[in-house]
Structure formats: C-alpha cells, structure tokens
Amino acid sequence: MILCIPDVLTPEVTQQCREILDNAQWEDGKKTAGHQAAKQKNNMQLPADSPAAQQVGQTILQALGSNPLFTSAALPLHIMPPMFNRYAGGQQFGTHVDGSVRTLPGGQRIRTDLSCTLFFAEPDEYDGGELIIEDTYGSKSVKLPAGHMVLYPSTSLHHVTPVTRGARVSSFFWLQSMISSDERRSLLFDMDIAIQRISGALPDHEVASESAVQLTGVYHNLIRQWAQM
C-alpha cells in the first residue's frame, strides 16, 4: 500500500523546519549508504547527530504521534529517528531497495516494514526529484507539497529522479509495524476507515451502534492474532 498523508506538519511548522534545515551543515550522502546503495546514491545528507536533524526530527515524531491517518495505516511499533537529504545540481538516487534491518541509537535493531518521505520543498521549487515507487500495478510517481508525507512498503524498489533546477529537501525514515505483512496492514487500514465512516455517517440508533461495535471488535481481534510486539 502506498499512502500519501497530507498536512503532517502545518505550513507554519514546515516553514520553521525548512529554515533550520537550510542553515544546517550538509555532507555527502554516501557516508550512510550500504555497499550497493552507495553505487546509486548521489545527494547530500545531515549527520544523525546534527542539532538541526535532531530538532526537526523530534518535531516530525511529535506530529506523527497525533496523526490518526498515519497511526491507522502504519500501526507503528518502533520508528527510526528521521533523517534528512537534499538533492540539487542533477543529483539523484538510482533504483534500490531499503535495507531490511536498521539499528536504533540505543542499539536495538528493528525490521523496516515501511518507508516514509516527508517533503520540505514545494513542488514548484525544483524540477525533477520525483520519488518513483514500483508498485504491484506499476510505477507511482510522488512529488508532494511541503509538509506532506508518503508512506510505502520498504520492500518496494524505488528511486529519485535527477533534480535539474532548485533543491529538493526532505526527511526520510523507516518504521517497524506491529503488523509485518503489508497485505494484512492494508486490510486493517481499510476496515478501520470503514468503521470510522460508519460511526460518523449512520444515524445514532441501536442497530448502527451495535454494528460499529461489532466491527471494531473484529478489527481488534485481528490485531490480537497478527500483531508482533
């Protein structure tokens, strides 16, 4: 499932974060790439211990913690601290797949079930820079407004096209979901959205209430069967 999540950050917060990122010290992105990815990677990146990365990263995590669409779709168990990259002057990232396991700052290893890209540059600020994700039904091109985020399976092949004008600034990170299967996560997400619609659309009478409660019970019982904690 590929899901675009709008307005993860408000325009005001997005602008504040962008100013912090624009004044940060960037380095060659190959420093954090694995052997295979380093052959494809050509961008700039903030060091993980950069004060700018830590400040903006914490802002992102706080926003995601109160975002119901993200929670419903990802069912997150562990989230990596957000990282940041910048593409300009023809830089790009060739086709690759994200590593299956990442290490949290404390040493704990997590499985990368979902990849996240949150945009900090408006689409008209730069040419190129589309995130191309290989989906079951073909390729999907993603280039979102600043403050918006795309969530997609980490198993997907993907690449970033060359940025030929301006600069593409974004955050990227991974998470381990309570539900490792993308198919099961998608089913639960569809069910959760349907429950919310039924609860909000049906008249407040006994049958509607009972139906919503029953479906909610099925939803949580499925999570009990499938969740890995």
Q: Which residue has the tokens 């700039």?
A: 44
Q: In Å, what is the CA distance from 141 to each residue of 4, 112, 119, 128, 173?
A: 11, 22, 14, 11, 19
pLDDT for res 38: 67
The DSSP symbol for 123 reads: G
For residue 158, the one-letter residue type is H
How far is the C-alpha of 44 from the C-alpha of 175, rounded, in Å?
22
Residue 208 has pLDDT above 80, yes or no: no
Nearest to residue 76, comparing CAs of 179, 194, 181? 179
How much of the chain exceeds pLDDT 90, in percent?
A: 84
Please, which pLDDT band fits residue 30 given cuts at 50, 70 and 90? confident
pLDDT tens string 87-108: 999 999 999 999 999 999 899 9
Residue 34 has pLDDT above 80, yes or no: no
Q: How far apart are the first and last CA of the chain?
A: 22
Enumerate the domain spans of the chain. Answer: 3-177, 182-226
23-43: average pLDDT: 82
Give, in words, the CATH class of 3-177. Answer: mainly beta
Please, which pLDDT band fits residue 131 given cuts at 50, 70 and 90? very high
Paired tokens of 212:
């919503």
Residue 198 has pLDDT above 90, yes or no: no
Beta carbons within 10 angstroms of residue 38's beta carbon: 15
Cβ contact 121:15 at 8 Å: no
How far is the C-alpha of 76 from the C-alpha of 12, rounded, in Å?
26
Record the pTM: 0.93
How far is the C-alpha of 108 from the C-alpha of 124, rounded, in Å?
39
10-26: average pLDDT: 98
109-114: average pLDDT: 98
How far is the C-alpha of 161 from the C-alpha of 127, rounded, in Å?
9
Mapped onto helix, strand or coil, the DSSP state of residue 81 is: coil
Residue 187 has pLDDT above 80, yes or no: yes
